[in-house]
Structure 1
Amino acid sequence: MTSTSRLWAELPDISPELAAADRAAVDAWHADEADGASEEAETGDDYPVLSRLAALGSSFAARVDRMSAWQRERLLGFLEEVLVSGPEDEQDAVATGFLEALVTAYDHGVVDLATVWHELGEESRHYIKIWNTRTGAAVPCWMTFRDPPEPHPAGAAVALLRDSCDRLANADDRLLSTSTETRSAEPDYDLQHRVENMAAEFVRGFREIDRSSRARVFEALEKVVLGAPERDVTAVAERFVPALVTGCPVWEFSIPC
Protein backbone atom coordinates (compact mmCIF):
# COMPACT_ATOMS: atom_id res chain seq x y z
CA MET A 1 0.00 0.00 0.00
CA THR A 2 1.51 3.32 -1.12
CA SER A 3 1.27 6.18 1.36
CA THR A 4 1.89 9.91 1.03
CA SER A 5 4.43 9.68 3.88
CA ARG A 6 6.95 8.48 1.31
CA LEU A 7 6.03 11.37 -0.96
CA TRP A 8 6.91 13.98 1.65
CA ALA A 9 10.21 12.21 2.29
CA GLU A 10 11.09 12.07 -1.40
CA LEU A 11 9.71 15.47 -2.43
CA PRO A 12 13.01 17.37 -1.88
CA ASP A 13 14.72 15.03 -4.36
CA ILE A 14 11.87 15.34 -6.86
CA SER A 15 11.59 19.14 -6.68
CA PRO A 16 13.37 21.35 -4.15
CA GLU A 17 10.99 24.20 -5.10
CA LEU A 18 7.88 22.16 -4.34
CA ALA A 19 9.46 20.84 -1.15
CA ALA A 20 10.18 24.41 0.01
CA ALA A 21 6.61 25.48 -0.77
CA ASP A 22 5.30 22.44 1.11
CA ARG A 23 7.44 23.20 4.17
CA ALA A 24 6.22 26.81 4.13
CA ALA A 25 2.60 25.65 4.01
CA VAL A 26 3.13 23.18 6.86
CA ASP A 27 4.96 25.81 8.96
CA ALA A 28 2.21 28.35 8.33
CA TRP A 29 -0.44 25.86 9.44
CA HIS A 30 1.43 25.05 12.64
CA ALA A 31 1.96 28.76 13.30
CA ASP A 32 -1.78 29.31 13.03
CA GLU A 33 -2.28 26.43 15.46
CA ALA A 34 0.14 27.99 17.93
CA ASP A 35 -1.66 31.32 17.65
CA GLY A 36 -4.97 29.65 18.42
CA ALA A 37 -6.37 30.25 14.95
CA SER A 38 -7.98 26.80 15.08
CA GLU A 39 -9.38 26.37 18.58
CA GLU A 40 -10.87 22.94 17.83
CA ALA A 41 -7.57 21.36 16.80
CA GLU A 42 -5.74 19.35 19.41
CA THR A 43 -2.10 19.94 20.21
CA GLY A 44 0.18 17.77 18.09
CA ASP A 45 -2.27 17.37 15.21
CA ASP A 46 -0.61 16.98 11.82
CA TYR A 47 -1.37 19.23 8.87
CA PRO A 48 -4.48 17.59 7.31
CA VAL A 49 -3.46 15.51 4.29
CA LEU A 50 -6.32 16.95 2.20
CA SER A 51 -5.17 20.53 2.80
CA ARG A 52 -1.55 19.60 2.26
CA LEU A 53 -2.23 17.92 -1.07
CA ALA A 54 -4.44 20.81 -2.19
CA ALA A 55 -1.57 23.20 -1.42
CA LEU A 56 0.79 20.90 -3.33
CA GLY A 57 -1.58 20.88 -6.32
CA SER A 58 -1.65 24.69 -6.42
CA SER A 59 2.15 24.88 -6.05
CA PHE A 60 2.63 22.30 -8.80
CA ALA A 61 0.32 24.18 -11.17
CA ALA A 62 2.24 27.41 -10.63
CA ARG A 63 5.61 25.71 -11.31
CA VAL A 64 4.83 23.26 -14.12
CA ASP A 65 6.83 25.18 -16.71
CA ARG A 66 9.91 25.22 -14.48
CA MET A 67 9.89 21.48 -13.84
CA SER A 68 11.48 18.82 -16.02
CA ALA A 69 9.45 16.00 -17.53
CA TRP A 70 11.16 13.60 -15.12
CA GLN A 71 10.13 15.69 -12.10
CA ARG A 72 6.53 15.95 -13.25
CA GLU A 73 6.26 12.27 -14.12
CA ARG A 74 7.82 11.18 -10.82
CA LEU A 75 5.47 13.31 -8.76
CA LEU A 76 2.33 12.52 -10.76
CA GLY A 77 3.25 8.84 -10.92
CA PHE A 78 3.61 8.68 -7.15
CA LEU A 79 0.23 10.37 -6.65
CA GLU A 80 -1.30 7.92 -9.12
CA GLU A 81 -0.03 5.05 -6.97
CA VAL A 82 -1.66 6.57 -3.89
CA LEU A 83 -4.90 7.16 -5.81
CA VAL A 84 -4.99 3.52 -6.90
CA SER A 85 -3.68 1.65 -3.85
CA GLY A 86 -3.21 4.06 -0.95
CA PRO A 87 -5.25 4.33 2.26
CA GLU A 88 -8.81 5.44 1.55
CA ASP A 89 -8.42 8.84 3.19
CA GLU A 90 -5.28 9.52 1.14
CA GLN A 91 -6.96 8.38 -2.07
CA ASP A 92 -9.71 10.90 -1.40
CA ALA A 93 -7.13 13.57 -0.58
CA VAL A 94 -5.27 13.06 -3.86
CA ALA A 95 -8.52 13.33 -5.80
CA THR A 96 -10.30 16.16 -3.99
CA GLY A 97 -7.11 17.90 -2.88
CA PHE A 98 -4.37 17.70 -5.50
CA LEU A 99 -6.35 16.94 -8.67
CA GLU A 100 -9.16 19.40 -8.01
CA ALA A 101 -6.61 22.10 -7.16
CA LEU A 102 -4.91 21.36 -10.49
CA VAL A 103 -8.21 21.61 -12.40
CA THR A 104 -9.08 24.85 -10.60
CA ALA A 105 -5.71 26.29 -11.60
CA TYR A 106 -6.42 25.25 -15.19
CA ASP A 107 -9.86 26.88 -15.08
CA HIS A 108 -8.25 30.11 -13.83
CA GLY A 109 -5.60 30.10 -16.55
CA VAL A 110 -2.71 29.38 -14.18
CA VAL A 111 -1.62 26.20 -15.97
CA ASP A 112 -2.19 24.62 -19.37
CA LEU A 113 -3.41 21.21 -18.28
CA ALA A 114 -2.99 19.86 -21.83
CA THR A 115 0.81 20.07 -21.45
CA VAL A 116 0.83 17.56 -18.57
CA TRP A 117 -2.31 15.58 -19.40
CA HIS A 118 -0.46 12.49 -20.62
CA GLU A 119 1.96 12.62 -17.69
CA LEU A 120 -0.99 12.04 -15.35
CA GLY A 121 -1.88 8.44 -14.57
CA GLU A 122 -4.92 6.77 -16.07
CA GLU A 123 -6.93 6.91 -12.84
CA SER A 124 -6.04 10.59 -12.34
CA ARG A 125 -7.20 11.45 -15.87
CA HIS A 126 -10.38 9.44 -15.31
CA TYR A 127 -11.15 11.34 -12.09
CA ILE A 128 -10.65 14.73 -13.78
CA LYS A 129 -13.00 13.80 -16.65
CA ILE A 130 -15.62 12.60 -14.15
CA TRP A 131 -15.17 15.81 -12.16
CA ASN A 132 -15.70 17.90 -15.30
CA THR A 133 -18.86 15.96 -16.06
CA ARG A 134 -20.22 16.44 -12.55
CA THR A 135 -19.52 20.18 -12.58
CA GLY A 136 -20.90 20.65 -16.09
CA ALA A 137 -17.53 21.78 -17.46
CA ALA A 138 -16.67 20.98 -21.07
CA VAL A 139 -14.30 18.07 -21.68
CA PRO A 140 -11.69 19.26 -24.21
CA CYS A 141 -10.89 17.02 -27.16
CA TRP A 142 -7.33 16.42 -25.96
CA MET A 143 -8.68 14.74 -22.82
CA THR A 144 -10.12 11.95 -24.96
CA PHE A 145 -6.90 11.00 -26.77
CA ARG A 146 -4.87 7.96 -25.77
CA ASP A 147 -1.63 9.47 -27.07
CA PRO A 148 -0.45 13.06 -26.58
CA PRO A 149 -1.10 15.43 -29.50
CA GLU A 150 1.91 15.89 -31.75
CA PRO A 151 3.67 19.19 -30.98
CA HIS A 152 4.22 21.58 -33.88
CA PRO A 153 6.61 24.53 -34.28
CA ALA A 154 5.76 28.20 -34.74
CA GLY A 155 4.18 28.83 -38.14
CA ALA A 156 2.58 25.39 -38.15
CA ALA A 157 -0.82 26.85 -39.10
CA VAL A 158 0.53 27.99 -42.48
CA ALA A 159 2.60 24.86 -43.13
CA LEU A 160 -0.15 22.41 -42.23
CA LEU A 161 -2.81 24.22 -44.24
CA ARG A 162 -0.53 24.42 -47.28
CA ASP A 163 0.23 20.71 -47.07
CA SER A 164 -3.42 19.78 -46.68
CA CYS A 165 -4.71 21.20 -49.96
CA ASP A 166 -2.98 22.30 -53.20
CA ARG A 167 -5.60 24.98 -53.74
CA LEU A 168 -4.72 26.63 -50.43
CA ALA A 169 -1.00 26.37 -51.19
CA ASN A 170 -1.52 28.06 -54.54
CA ALA A 171 -3.53 30.85 -52.91
CA ASP A 172 -0.75 31.34 -50.38
CA ASP A 173 1.85 31.50 -53.17
CA ARG A 174 -0.16 34.21 -54.90
CA LEU A 175 -0.30 36.25 -51.71
CA LEU A 176 3.44 35.92 -51.17
CA SER A 177 4.13 37.02 -54.74
CA THR A 178 2.40 40.35 -54.03
CA SER A 179 4.75 41.36 -51.22
CA THR A 180 4.32 44.89 -49.87
CA GLU A 181 5.82 46.92 -47.05
CA THR A 182 2.57 46.54 -45.12
CA ARG A 183 3.03 42.76 -44.94
CA SER A 184 6.08 43.03 -42.74
CA ALA A 185 5.09 46.15 -40.81
CA GLU A 186 2.78 44.50 -38.27
CA PRO A 187 3.59 41.74 -35.77
CA ASP A 188 2.10 38.41 -36.89
CA TYR A 189 0.86 39.98 -40.14
CA ASP A 190 2.24 37.14 -42.24
CA LEU A 191 0.81 34.41 -40.03
CA GLN A 192 -2.65 35.87 -39.57
CA HIS A 193 -3.15 37.16 -43.10
CA ARG A 194 -1.78 34.06 -44.77
CA VAL A 195 -4.20 31.97 -42.69
CA GLU A 196 -7.03 34.38 -43.52
CA ASN A 197 -6.18 34.29 -47.21
CA MET A 198 -6.26 30.47 -47.26
CA ALA A 199 -9.54 30.51 -45.36
CA ALA A 200 -11.06 32.80 -47.98
CA GLU A 201 -9.84 30.47 -50.73
CA PHE A 202 -11.26 27.45 -48.94
CA VAL A 203 -14.66 29.11 -48.66
CA ARG A 204 -14.64 30.28 -52.30
CA GLY A 205 -13.69 26.88 -53.62
CA PHE A 206 -15.52 24.75 -51.07
CA ARG A 207 -17.83 22.99 -53.56
CA GLU A 208 -14.96 22.36 -55.96
CA ILE A 209 -12.60 20.90 -53.37
CA ASP A 210 -12.96 17.12 -53.10
CA ARG A 211 -14.04 15.58 -49.82
CA SER A 212 -10.68 14.01 -49.02
CA SER A 213 -8.98 17.39 -49.36
CA ARG A 214 -11.62 19.01 -47.16
CA ALA A 215 -11.00 16.33 -44.55
CA ARG A 216 -7.26 17.00 -44.67
CA VAL A 217 -7.91 20.72 -44.12
CA PHE A 218 -10.01 19.97 -41.04
CA GLU A 219 -7.32 17.58 -39.78
CA ALA A 220 -4.75 20.33 -40.23
CA LEU A 221 -6.89 22.76 -38.22
CA GLU A 222 -7.27 20.19 -35.46
CA LYS A 223 -3.51 19.60 -35.33
CA VAL A 224 -2.91 23.33 -35.00
CA VAL A 225 -5.43 23.74 -32.18
CA LEU A 226 -4.12 20.73 -30.25
CA GLY A 227 -0.39 21.03 -30.70
CA ALA A 228 0.77 24.35 -32.15
CA PRO A 229 2.00 27.50 -30.37
CA GLU A 230 -0.55 30.03 -29.14
CA ARG A 231 -0.04 32.45 -32.06
CA ASP A 232 -0.94 29.75 -34.55
CA VAL A 233 -3.98 28.72 -32.54
CA THR A 234 -5.08 32.37 -32.36
CA ALA A 235 -4.66 32.80 -36.11
CA VAL A 236 -6.86 29.78 -36.77
CA ALA A 237 -9.45 30.84 -34.16
CA GLU A 238 -9.65 34.47 -35.31
CA ARG A 239 -9.06 34.15 -39.05
CA PHE A 240 -9.96 30.68 -40.34
CA VAL A 241 -12.83 29.55 -38.14
CA PRO A 242 -14.97 32.71 -38.60
CA ALA A 243 -14.64 32.31 -42.36
CA LEU A 244 -15.92 28.75 -42.07
CA VAL A 245 -18.83 29.75 -39.88
CA THR A 246 -20.02 32.58 -42.11
CA GLY A 247 -19.01 31.34 -45.54
CA CYS A 248 -19.41 27.59 -45.90
CA PRO A 249 -22.61 25.56 -46.30
CA VAL A 250 -22.52 24.00 -42.84
CA TRP A 251 -24.72 21.07 -43.77
CA GLU A 252 -21.99 19.71 -46.04
CA PHE A 253 -19.28 19.24 -43.47
CA SER A 254 -18.54 18.70 -39.84
CA ILE A 255 -15.33 19.20 -37.91
CA PRO A 256 -14.54 16.04 -35.95
CA CYS A 257 -13.74 16.34 -32.27
Structure 2
Amino acid sequence: MPSDARSTDGSDPLDLSGGERFGVWRAARARRRREREEVRRFTAVSRRRRITWIASVGGVLTLAVACIAAAYTPVMAVREIHVEGARLVSSDLIVRDLDGELGTPLPLVDRSAIKAALVKYPLIQSYSVESRPPSTLVVRIVERRPVGVITDGDAFDLVDVAGVVLTSSPRRPDGYPLITFEGGSGSSGFAAAAAVVRSLPTEVLATVDEVTASTVDDVTLTLADSGAVVAWGSSEDSAAKAVALQTLMAAYPPDAVARYDVSSPESVVVDPR
Protein backbone atom coordinates (compact mmCIF):
# COMPACT_ATOMS: atom_id res chain seq x y z
CA MET A 1 0.00 0.00 0.00
CA PRO A 2 1.24 3.55 -0.72
CA SER A 3 2.78 5.26 2.24
CA ASP A 4 1.00 8.16 3.87
CA ALA A 5 3.06 11.42 3.50
CA ARG A 6 1.06 13.25 6.10
CA SER A 7 2.52 14.03 9.49
CA THR A 8 1.28 12.40 12.66
CA ASP A 9 -0.96 15.38 13.39
CA GLY A 10 -2.60 14.96 9.94
CA SER A 11 -1.11 18.17 8.34
CA ASP A 12 0.67 18.34 4.95
CA PRO A 13 4.31 19.58 5.28
CA LEU A 14 4.02 21.34 1.88
CA ASP A 15 0.85 23.08 2.87
CA LEU A 16 2.36 26.51 3.71
CA SER A 17 0.55 29.56 4.80
CA GLY A 18 0.48 32.68 2.65
CA GLY A 19 3.18 34.42 4.66
CA GLU A 20 5.47 31.44 4.48
CA ARG A 21 5.01 31.14 0.73
CA PHE A 22 5.84 34.84 0.31
CA GLY A 23 9.00 34.38 2.36
CA VAL A 24 10.08 31.47 0.19
CA TRP A 25 9.41 33.53 -2.95
CA ARG A 26 11.44 36.46 -1.62
CA ALA A 27 14.35 34.18 -0.74
CA ALA A 28 14.31 32.62 -4.21
CA ARG A 29 14.13 36.06 -5.83
CA ALA A 30 17.06 37.32 -3.76
CA ARG A 31 19.09 34.26 -4.67
CA ARG A 32 18.42 34.77 -8.39
CA ARG A 33 19.38 38.46 -8.05
CA ARG A 34 22.68 37.52 -6.40
CA GLU A 35 23.37 34.99 -9.12
CA ARG A 36 22.71 37.59 -11.84
CA GLU A 37 24.96 40.11 -10.05
CA GLU A 38 27.70 37.51 -9.74
CA VAL A 39 27.45 36.71 -13.45
CA ARG A 40 27.59 40.43 -14.32
CA ARG A 41 30.58 40.95 -12.02
CA PHE A 42 32.43 37.99 -13.50
CA THR A 43 31.65 39.19 -17.01
CA ALA A 44 32.91 42.70 -16.20
CA VAL A 45 36.16 41.37 -14.72
CA SER A 46 36.71 39.12 -17.72
CA ARG A 47 36.02 42.03 -20.06
CA ARG A 48 38.51 44.27 -18.22
CA ARG A 49 41.15 41.57 -18.31
CA ARG A 50 40.57 41.01 -22.00
CA ILE A 51 40.81 44.73 -22.73
CA THR A 52 44.02 45.01 -20.66
CA TRP A 53 45.55 42.02 -22.44
CA ILE A 54 44.62 43.35 -25.87
CA ALA A 55 46.02 46.78 -24.99
CA SER A 56 49.27 45.27 -23.70
CA VAL A 57 49.77 43.08 -26.75
CA GLY A 58 48.90 45.98 -29.00
CA GLY A 59 51.42 48.21 -27.24
CA VAL A 60 54.18 45.62 -27.55
CA LEU A 61 53.43 45.05 -31.22
CA THR A 62 53.35 48.77 -31.88
CA LEU A 63 56.70 49.23 -30.14
CA ALA A 64 58.23 46.30 -32.02
CA VAL A 65 57.03 47.62 -35.36
CA ALA A 66 58.36 51.08 -34.49
CA CYS A 67 61.77 49.67 -33.51
CA ILE A 68 62.01 47.56 -36.65
CA ALA A 69 60.98 50.49 -38.80
CA ALA A 70 63.55 52.73 -37.11
CA ALA A 71 66.31 50.12 -37.43
CA TYR A 72 65.89 49.87 -41.18
CA THR A 73 65.64 53.57 -41.88
CA PRO A 74 68.56 55.63 -43.26
CA VAL A 75 69.00 57.09 -39.78
CA MET A 76 70.39 53.70 -38.63
CA ALA A 77 72.65 53.24 -41.66
CA VAL A 78 76.41 52.81 -41.17
CA ARG A 79 78.19 56.14 -41.54
CA GLU A 80 81.31 55.48 -39.45
CA ILE A 81 83.58 52.44 -39.01
CA HIS A 82 85.85 52.41 -35.96
CA VAL A 83 88.69 49.89 -35.56
CA GLU A 84 89.94 49.18 -32.04
CA GLY A 85 93.00 47.17 -30.96
CA ALA A 86 95.10 47.73 -34.09
CA ARG A 87 98.80 48.31 -33.41
CA LEU A 88 100.65 46.33 -36.05
CA VAL A 89 97.80 46.31 -38.56
CA SER A 90 96.79 49.55 -40.27
CA SER A 91 93.32 50.55 -39.07
CA ASP A 92 92.99 52.76 -42.16
CA LEU A 93 93.42 49.74 -44.42
CA ILE A 94 90.79 47.81 -42.49
CA VAL A 95 88.32 50.69 -42.75
CA ARG A 96 88.99 50.88 -46.48
CA ASP A 97 88.36 47.15 -46.88
CA LEU A 98 85.05 47.46 -45.02
CA ASP A 99 83.74 50.57 -46.77
CA GLY A 100 81.24 48.41 -48.66
CA GLU A 101 79.17 48.38 -45.46
CA LEU A 102 78.77 52.17 -45.45
CA GLY A 103 75.14 53.09 -45.99
CA THR A 104 73.91 49.65 -44.89
CA PRO A 105 71.38 49.57 -42.01
CA LEU A 106 73.11 48.27 -38.90
CA PRO A 107 70.92 45.13 -38.64
CA LEU A 108 71.77 44.24 -42.25
CA VAL A 109 75.56 44.51 -41.99
CA ASP A 110 77.11 41.55 -43.84
CA ARG A 111 79.14 39.70 -41.21
CA SER A 112 80.44 37.20 -43.77
CA ALA A 113 81.83 40.05 -45.88
CA ILE A 114 83.58 41.44 -42.80
CA LYS A 115 85.11 38.03 -42.10
CA ALA A 116 86.29 37.70 -45.70
CA ALA A 117 87.99 41.10 -45.46
CA LEU A 118 89.74 40.43 -42.14
CA VAL A 119 91.06 36.92 -42.79
CA LYS A 120 93.44 38.46 -45.31
CA TYR A 121 95.41 39.93 -42.40
CA PRO A 122 97.63 37.23 -40.82
CA LEU A 123 98.35 39.54 -37.90
CA ILE A 124 94.70 39.41 -36.81
CA GLN A 125 94.11 36.49 -34.45
CA SER A 126 90.44 37.20 -33.70
CA TYR A 127 87.87 39.96 -33.97
CA SER A 128 84.41 41.01 -32.87
CA VAL A 129 81.86 43.36 -34.40
CA GLU A 130 79.55 45.71 -32.51
CA SER A 131 76.70 47.81 -33.89
CA ARG A 132 76.65 51.09 -32.01
CA PRO A 133 73.45 53.06 -32.81
CA PRO A 134 72.64 55.20 -34.50
CA SER A 135 75.28 54.81 -37.23
CA THR A 136 78.62 53.41 -36.01
CA LEU A 137 80.12 49.99 -36.73
CA VAL A 138 82.88 49.03 -34.28
CA VAL A 139 85.41 46.33 -35.18
CA ARG A 140 87.59 45.11 -32.30
CA ILE A 141 90.61 43.06 -33.28
CA VAL A 142 93.08 40.99 -31.29
CA GLU A 143 96.46 40.86 -32.97
CA ARG A 144 98.87 37.97 -32.92
CA ARG A 145 101.92 38.63 -30.80
CA PRO A 146 105.24 38.09 -32.63
CA VAL A 147 107.75 36.01 -30.67
CA GLY A 148 110.68 35.78 -33.02
CA VAL A 149 112.14 35.30 -36.47
CA ILE A 150 112.72 32.02 -38.29
CA THR A 151 114.49 31.51 -41.59
CA ASP A 152 112.85 30.11 -44.69
CA GLY A 153 115.49 29.84 -47.38
CA ASP A 154 116.70 33.38 -47.96
CA ALA A 155 113.66 34.91 -46.24
CA PHE A 156 113.14 35.90 -42.63
CA ASP A 157 109.66 35.11 -41.31
CA LEU A 158 108.26 36.89 -38.26
CA VAL A 159 106.11 34.33 -36.43
CA ASP A 160 103.85 34.10 -33.40
CA VAL A 161 103.89 31.44 -30.70
CA ALA A 162 101.84 29.10 -32.90
CA GLY A 163 104.32 29.43 -35.78
CA VAL A 164 101.95 31.50 -37.91
CA VAL A 165 103.94 33.66 -40.33
CA LEU A 166 103.01 37.29 -39.78
CA THR A 167 105.43 38.94 -42.19
CA SER A 168 108.18 37.75 -44.50
CA SER A 169 111.09 39.81 -45.80
CA PRO A 170 114.60 39.38 -47.21
CA ARG A 171 116.00 41.25 -44.20
CA ARG A 172 115.82 40.17 -40.59
CA PRO A 173 113.28 42.30 -38.66
CA ASP A 174 114.71 44.33 -35.81
CA GLY A 175 113.66 43.82 -32.21
CA TYR A 176 113.00 40.05 -32.34
CA PRO A 177 115.32 37.11 -31.58
CA LEU A 178 116.28 34.62 -34.24
CA ILE A 179 114.85 31.19 -33.34
CA THR A 180 116.66 28.08 -34.55
CA PHE A 181 115.39 24.56 -33.92
CA GLU A 182 115.08 21.08 -35.36
CA GLY A 183 112.06 20.43 -37.59
CA GLY A 184 109.36 22.81 -38.79
CA SER A 185 107.43 25.52 -37.00
CA GLY A 186 105.05 22.85 -35.72
CA SER A 187 107.82 20.92 -33.99
CA SER A 188 108.28 20.49 -30.26
CA GLY A 189 111.62 22.31 -30.50
CA PHE A 190 109.98 25.45 -31.85
CA ALA A 191 107.22 25.22 -29.23
CA ALA A 192 109.82 25.04 -26.43
CA ALA A 193 111.83 27.97 -27.81
CA ALA A 194 108.70 30.10 -28.31
CA ALA A 195 107.52 29.36 -24.77
CA VAL A 196 110.86 30.52 -23.39
CA VAL A 197 110.71 33.76 -25.39
CA ARG A 198 107.19 34.44 -24.11
CA SER A 199 108.39 34.08 -20.51
CA LEU A 200 111.20 36.64 -20.76
CA PRO A 201 110.75 40.08 -19.19
CA THR A 202 110.85 42.90 -21.72
CA GLU A 203 114.20 44.17 -20.42
CA VAL A 204 115.82 40.75 -20.81
CA LEU A 205 114.18 39.99 -24.16
CA ALA A 206 115.62 43.20 -25.58
CA THR A 207 119.14 41.80 -24.99
CA VAL A 208 118.53 38.39 -26.62
CA ASP A 209 119.86 37.91 -30.15
CA GLU A 210 119.19 34.21 -30.71
CA VAL A 211 117.25 31.34 -29.15
CA THR A 212 118.34 27.81 -30.02
CA ALA A 213 116.48 24.59 -29.22
CA SER A 214 118.58 21.58 -30.18
CA THR A 215 116.04 19.50 -28.21
CA VAL A 216 113.03 20.37 -26.07
CA ASP A 217 115.23 20.02 -22.98
CA ASP A 218 118.18 22.01 -24.29
CA VAL A 219 117.15 25.60 -25.00
CA THR A 220 119.93 28.20 -25.00
CA LEU A 221 119.93 31.96 -25.42
CA THR A 222 122.66 34.06 -26.95
CA LEU A 223 122.79 37.66 -25.80
CA ALA A 224 123.45 40.47 -28.24
CA ASP A 225 126.63 42.55 -28.07
CA SER A 226 128.30 40.52 -25.32
CA GLY A 227 127.73 37.09 -26.90
CA ALA A 228 127.09 35.60 -23.45
CA VAL A 229 125.21 32.29 -23.50
CA VAL A 230 122.31 31.35 -21.23
CA ALA A 231 121.73 27.65 -20.57
CA TRP A 232 117.97 27.48 -20.08
CA GLY A 233 117.17 23.80 -20.27
CA SER A 234 113.52 22.92 -20.93
CA SER A 235 110.65 25.39 -21.04
CA GLU A 236 109.40 24.15 -17.66
CA ASP A 237 109.65 26.63 -14.77
CA SER A 238 110.37 29.38 -17.30
CA ALA A 239 108.87 32.07 -15.07
CA ALA A 240 111.27 31.21 -12.22
CA LYS A 241 114.19 30.94 -14.64
CA ALA A 242 113.39 34.36 -16.10
CA VAL A 243 113.44 35.95 -12.64
CA ALA A 244 116.73 34.19 -11.84
CA LEU A 245 118.33 35.37 -15.09
CA GLN A 246 117.21 38.95 -14.57
CA THR A 247 118.70 38.91 -11.08
CA LEU A 248 121.99 37.43 -12.32
CA MET A 249 122.32 39.93 -15.15
CA ALA A 250 121.89 42.77 -12.68
CA ALA A 251 124.57 41.35 -10.36
CA TYR A 252 126.90 40.06 -13.08
CA PRO A 253 126.75 42.17 -16.28
CA PRO A 254 126.85 40.16 -19.52
CA ASP A 255 130.09 41.82 -20.65
CA ALA A 256 131.89 40.04 -17.80
CA VAL A 257 130.12 36.69 -18.16
CA ALA A 258 130.66 33.86 -20.64
CA ARG A 259 127.74 31.71 -19.54
CA TYR A 260 124.72 31.86 -17.26
CA ASP A 261 123.10 28.56 -16.27
CA VAL A 262 119.52 28.87 -15.02
CA SER A 263 118.40 25.38 -16.04
CA SER A 264 117.90 24.77 -12.31
CA PRO A 265 116.55 28.12 -11.06
CA GLU A 266 117.20 27.18 -7.42
CA SER A 267 120.88 26.50 -8.13
CA VAL A 268 122.16 28.92 -10.77
CA VAL A 269 125.72 29.07 -12.10
CA VAL A 270 127.70 31.98 -13.56
CA ASP A 271 130.86 31.38 -15.60
CA PRO A 272 132.95 34.55 -15.89
CA ARG A 273 134.96 35.37 -18.97
Say which structure, 1 or 2, has more relative contact order (CA 8 Å, 6+ apart): 1
Please state which structure has a larger fraction of its residues in strand: 2
TM-score normalised per structure 1: 0.23
TM-score normalised per structure 2: 0.22
Larger Rg: 2
